[in-house]
Amino acid sequence: MKKYNVAVVGATGLVGTTILKVLEERDFPIQKLTLLASRKSKGEELMFRDRKYLVEELNENSFDADIDIAFFAAGGGISERYAPIAASKGVVVIDNSSVFRMDEGVPLVVPEVNGEDTFKNCGIIANPNCSTIQCMLPLKAIDNKHKIKRVVYSTYQSVSGSGLKGLKDLEEGKNGFYPYNIMENLIPHIDVFLDNGYTKEEMKMIQESRKILHRDDLKVTATTVRVPVKFSHCVSINIELEEEFDLKGIRTILSSYPGIIVKDDLKNLQYPMPIDVEGKDEVYVGRIRRDYSLDNGLNIWVVADNIRKGAATNAVQIAQVLIGKED
């Protein structure tokens, strides 16, 4: 089997270290592994497949070596500056930041939903926003059968979505990164506020959903909220369908879709919660019920590990599509 030279930019961060874990779990065929981070981490040792690797400082020459695939997980500024350099040297970049997601020549991919878009890349493939990724699987499953007219997202996003600094704020009960203390609180403010009154996170969910689902006409709105939970994001999705549907049919559609686990047994108090979903690669769906305030309305509750399916797992799955290896 062909093996690939792989680099991870931001290898010491929450997403970067999880990318390494997922590459190992999925037995990704690696010839040479290059780990890159800031000057602060230069010389740090990280383990991969029982071998120690030294972290190198990222610089403009980092991609001169023969690298096939580079995962970028070091923030938007680093991606903006270094991803085009890597791509110009023949590297295929799988980028976790939001910088290139809406660019025309950059595919925005959730492999179970639009894996075929992976191959339309010009050197950069974007990994979608973490909350968006987990919503795409159930929405695509439903949209395939009953066209969706409108979607309302309300999110409950864990602090690990802000990286190590978010976890630190919750653990220490201080507001070093967030504008307010997140402990025993909820903050309806993720990323910066825009002129239209939405946050950038909310606009990412709206625009990225349309791009991934190939539904420019889809009506979408979102409210995104940070909650004092360490790992896994939850999204309440209210969906209006174009036509009548059968609830049993919706359950069948969802449970037979790749990457979705339906956990919805009210008698036994079974519904998805962050505490159970942490560390899992699948998207969990529960609380499937009609919205009686609409003719064809549906409510679902969707939970996924934001560092895994919301970032690292999805990025590695994209790489697997790229090299033609399904897990």
Ligand X SMILES: NC(=O)c1ccc[n+]([C@@H]2O[C@H](COP(=O)([O-])OP(=O)(O)OC[C@H]3O[C@@H](n4cnc5c(N)ncnc54)[C@H](OP(=O)(O)O)[C@@H]3O)[C@@H](O)[C@H]2O)c1
Catalytic residues: 130, 233
Contact call for residues 147 and 243 (beta carbons, < 8 A) = yes
Decide if residue 310 touches ligand X (CB under 6 A).
Answer: yes
52 class by beta-carbon count within 10 Å (0-12 exposed, 13-18 middle, 19+ buried)? exposed
Strand order in the sheet with 69-72: 56-57, 30-37, 4-9, 69-72, 92-95, 124-126
Exposed / middle / buried, residue 209 (Cβ in 10 Å: 0-12, 13-18, 19+): buried
**Side-chain half-sphere CA neighbours of 108 within 13 A:** 24
Residue with tokens 């979705």, as numbered in its chain: 260
Q: What is the dihedral of CA 61, 63, 65, 66, to 10 degrees?
A: -160
Candidates 187, 234, 241, 307; binder of ligand X (CB under 6 A) is: 307
Supply the minimum distance, in Å, between the C-beta of residue 138 and ligand X. Answer: 19
Among 163, 259, 286, 297, binds ligand X (CB under 6 A): 163
Query: From the CB of 22, what's the least distance to ligand X, in Å?
Result: 13
- Closest distance to ligand X from the beta carbon of 313 (Å): 11
Q: Does 37 bind ligand X (CB under 6 A)?
A: yes
Q: How far is the CB of 39 from ligand X (least distance, A)?
A: 7
Report the candidate in 277, 34, 300, 31 with the shortest Cα–Cα distance to residue 154. 300
**CB of residue 318 to ligand X, shortest distance in Å:** 13
Report the residue number whose CB is nearest to ligand X: 13
HSE (side-chain half, CA atoms, 13 Å) at 238: 14
Structure tokens at 44: 């740090």
User: Is 56 near ligand X (CB under 6 A)?
Assistant: no
Question: Which range in 11-19, 85-93, 278-286, 319-327 contacts ligand X by CB under 6 A?
Answer: 11-19
Q: Which of residues 58-77 bind ligand X (CB under 6 A)?
A: 58, 73-76
* Residue among 7, 78, 87, 135 that touches ligand X (CB under 6 A): 78
CA dihedral for 316, 318, 323, 327, sign (positive or negative): positive
The reply on whether position 311 binds ligand X by CB under 6 A is: yes
Burial of 101 (0-12, 13-18, 19+ CB in 10 A): buried
Closer residue to ligand X, CB minimum distance, 74 or 239: 74
128 vs 272, beta carbon nearer ligand X: 128
C-alpha 199: how far from chain center? 18
Per-residue interface string for the shown chain with ligand X, residues 113-152, x marking contact by CB under 6 A: -----------------x----------------------
274 counts as binding ligand X under rule CB under 6 A: no
* Range in contact with ligand X (rule: CB under 6 A) among 33-41, 201-209, 220-228, 285-293: 33-41
Q: Are 91 and 7 in contact (CB under 8 A)?
A: yes
164 binds ligand X (CB under 6 A): yes
Of residues 108 and 254, the one with the C-beta less far from ligand X: 108
Q: What is the dihedral of CA 18, 19, 25, 26, to 10 degrees?
A: 150
Minimum gap (Å) between residue 165 Cβ and ligand X: 6
* 160 and 131 Cβ atoms separated by less than 8 Å: no
Residue 212 in the binding site for ligand X (CB under 6 A): no
Interface residues with ligand X (CB under 6 A) are: 10-16, 37-38, 40-41, 58, 73-76, 78, 96-97, 130, 160-161, 163-164, 306-307, 310-311
